[in-house]
Amino acid sequence: MKKIVIITSVLVLGFAHTSPAQFTQVEQFTGVHKTDFTLYSSYPINKSQTLSIGTLAFFQKFHEAESEDFDEVGVQPTLFWNINQSISIGPSLYYNSIAGYAQRLSTKFTLKSSRLLVVVMPTVGHYQQTKKGYAEAFSQFQFNTPVNDKISIWLNGQFLTVWDKFERHSRSFQQLRAGISIKGHQFGVGADFDQYGPEPLEEFSFGCYYRTIL
């Protein structure tokens, strides 16, 4: 099933531990049924920081032979115009090992405080391989509660839905994480719920995750 998988769950995670201007974050999730490795970096390209480049790279590997069709590698650089601290817009070129190339345009809305982060990002795209358009809705929340100066408790959630031709379900996921952060190293338990196709085929994996800022 050659459907695009957009894993943007780490677009803005880790802001509380590093400068919002630039960061590189990696996360590994190892579950019962699959393993994910994701890297996201964001760097300004002008002094006013109104322009920045965010690069997403990920690898997803299912453990069972019957789910190998969903194994993926993806790379996506995005040029963001940061209108203000809450709104950004920009184009990206996405490559996926299953679906090939896609051109995308996204708008990112961000609400951020010292303990809470909420992101909503609608996207329209065009598959180069099939010459068809699609729509995507991504959202994320992140909440942390400090225990002391070095330790905090974290709850994270990422949610995605993709519609081929702007009307038919193609791909969706719900990713939940709960853990602690010690000196910038975050780890805990997680659950991934994945759905594929117009009549969704579901995959579920429960496991552990580790996240850090490089």
Q: Indicate whether 5 belongs to any domain.
A: no
Q: Indicate whether 8 belongs to any domain.
A: no
Say what the pLDDT of residue 21 is: 59
Tokens (6 digits) for 101: 């190339």
Mean pLDDT calculated for residue range 174-186: 94
Q: Tens digits of per-residue pLDDT, 15-28?
A: 333 344 588 989 99
Residue 33 has pLDDT above 70, yes or no: yes
Specify the CATH number for the domain of residue 149. Answer: 2.40.160.40
Handedness of CA 69, 73, 79, 80 (dihedral sign): positive
Q: Give the span between the Cα atoms of 93 and 77, in whole angstroms.
A: 6
Say what the pLDDT of residue 13 is: 36
Q: Give the span between the Cα atoms of 116 and 105, in whole angstroms.
A: 26
Q: How far is CA 205 from CA 30, 47, 62, in A?
A: 9, 43, 9
Q: Give the span between the Cα atoms of 209 and 11, in whole angstroms.
A: 17
Domain of residue 133, residue span? 15-213
**7 — pLDDT class (breaks 50, 70, 90):** very low
Say what the pLDDT of residue 8 is: 38
Say what the pLDDT of residue 44 is: 92
Mean pLDDT calculated for residue range 186-200: 93
Say what the pLDDT of residue 53 is: 92
Mean pLDDT calculated for residue range 146-175: 92
Residue 14 has pLDDT above 50, yes or no: no
Q: Give the span between the Cα atoms of 140 and 172, in whole angstroms.
A: 13
* Distance between first and last Cα of the chain: 35
DSSP string, 33-75: SEEEEEEEEEEESSTT--EEEEEEEEEEEESSGGGGGG-EEEE
Domains of the chain: total: 1
Q: Tens digits of per-residue pLDDT, 60-105?
A: 999 999 898 889 899 999 999 999 989 999 999 999 888 889 999 9
Q: Indicate whether 6 belongs to any domain.
A: no
